Structure 1
Amino acid sequence: MLTKINPEHILFLDIETVPQFEDYNELSDTAKSLWEQKTQYQRKDEFTPEAFYDRAGIWAEFGKIICISVGHFVMKGAIRKFRITSFHGEEITLLKEFKMLLETHFNRPHHLLCAHNGKEFDFPYIARRMIIHGISLPFKLNLFGKKPWEVPHLDTLELWKFGDYKTFTTLKLMAHVLGIPSPKDDIDGSQVRDVFYNEKDMDRIITYCEKDTITVAQIFLKLRNEALLKEDEVLSI
């Protein structure tokens, strides 16, 4: 049961992704052809492959990770803190740094990773980008041969479904219905590409990513019927 999990054993996370290149024309002819094939169903006749390229960050084959924010609980008696930090910069570097964190601090059997829609997006995306960069997968992301109950992943979207696979609930909607405060200054996920390539405001993206990570932790607390984090309980490191 969820209430039996020690919160200190969970690494909460969120990632932000963008297209690998700023402009569609930077793709090779082969990549353009493969992009056209990959997105044909999603585009239909509404968009050309070039016009649709702004959304390339959704796919690990055509996108890249620009930020991974992680947070974890630290409990000392009645005192509760949530420490959060972010990896950013060159993708291969941030992936190696994230892997080191997993292998040095979250490598025990009882440790879990938690994200919203993490099983469909964050976890496989990170794993695919690591393989593309020639980085061996850390144990917590290497799912080959594992049975479903052996996968060390929690997904707040999956927990909210309660076995219902017909609908998708966004992090923002879930936070709203659960009464979790949503910061008014958040950028929308669809804006990350423009903020990164046009505004070149990485700090804004990091802040957005960290707030989403905190929200995932808040949802976890709400699902356990526990008190939400207060502002003074969150520590950026």
Structure 2
Amino acid sequence: MLDKTPLDHILFLDIETVPEKSSFDELDTTTQQLWEHKSQYQRKEEFSAEEFYERAGIWAEFGKIICISVGYFTLQGSTRSFRLTTFHGEEEKILLDFKTLLNEHFNHSKNVLCAHNGKEFDFPYIARRMTIHGISLPHKLDLFGKKPWEIPHIDTMELWKFGDYKHFTSLKLMAHVLGIPSPKEDIDGSMVRVVYYEEKNLPRIVTYCELDVLTTAQVFLRLRNQPLLIDDEVKNVMNSSIQFKNTLVNHISTFKK
């Protein structure tokens, strides 16, 4: 039934996160104590709470989103293209711009969100950070009262589980076994904090995030036994919410019909 969802109804996405502060010392005393308690099981006696803080970005309570990359298909007859863009800057603005995108262009009942490990990480992380900032949740992230089959989320890692609840497969491994050419990435997820806080090189992280969105879309195509995207089909939209919104109006106005 995977092929029942038209490609141009799906918004593919990925987020990059870092610890909310650049170092453990910048946290107030209460937050330090809460972090020490929260991380105790994962770090055991191998690391102190301060040493382990470099991994705090994976928890929405102690991290923050530094970019959200999104991609969507446009279909015109037999011609398809895949457009990529990224929201970045201050976290609150990232979240507000992303919410506007969902509400104005991906709010129809037929629209769905897709991410790798999205149900365990990206979707709840975005929802939690919105709540922390006092931003009301867009319909596509507000799951309260929804039945499982009403949740508009696709998770490529979940699709690969085939019912195995204990199975975890990274996007990189999944792409490899499915024969998807790996993009040339010069960083991985473990390096994002250093690149952001120490190198202060957000564009490098944005490129990495967009490549993950593209790879997620390629994995989804392979799971549907459809041809992979070629270079000429991939378009990068300037990292501007205004230009991206104008592009969406031109290409997916049918979503509102």
Q: Normalising by structure 1, what TM-score?
A: 0.99
Provide Cα deviations, 1:141-182, integer angstroms capped at 9, x if missing partner: 000111100000000000000101122000000000001111
What's the counterpart of residue 77 of structure 1? Answer: 77
Provide Cα deviations, 1:113-161, integer angstroms capped at 9, x if missing partner: 0000000000000000000000000000000111100000000000000
What's the counterpart of residue 112 of structure 1? Answer: 112
Cα distance between partner residues in 1 of 2:211 and 2:54: 23
C-alpha deviation, 1:185, in angstroms: 2.9
What's the counterpart of residue 161 of structure 1? Answer: 161
How many residues were matched structurally? Answer: 237
Give the AA of the match of 1:85: T
Q: Unpaired runs of 5+ in structure 2?
A: 238-257
What's the counterpart of residue 151 of structure 2? Answer: 151
* Alignment pair present for 1:186 and 2:204: no
Alignment of 1:134-149 (within 5 A): 134-149=134-149
Q: Report runs of 4+ in structure 1 exceeding 4 Å deviation.
A: none
Question: CA-atom RMSD, angstroms?
Answer: 0.5
Alignment of 1:1-237 (within 5 A): 1-237=1-237
Give the AA of the match of 2:210: E
Q: Normalising by structure 2, what TM-score?
A: 0.92
Q: Unpaired runs of 5+ in structure 1?
A: none
Counterpart of 1:50 in 2: which secondary structure? helix
C-alpha deviation, 1:33, in angstroms: 0.4
Percent of residue pairs identical: 68
C-alpha deviation, 1:210, in angstroms: 0.1
C-alpha deviation, 1:186, in angstroms: 3.5
Give the AA of the match of 1:190: S
Cα distance between partner residues in 1 of 2:183 and 2:110: 32
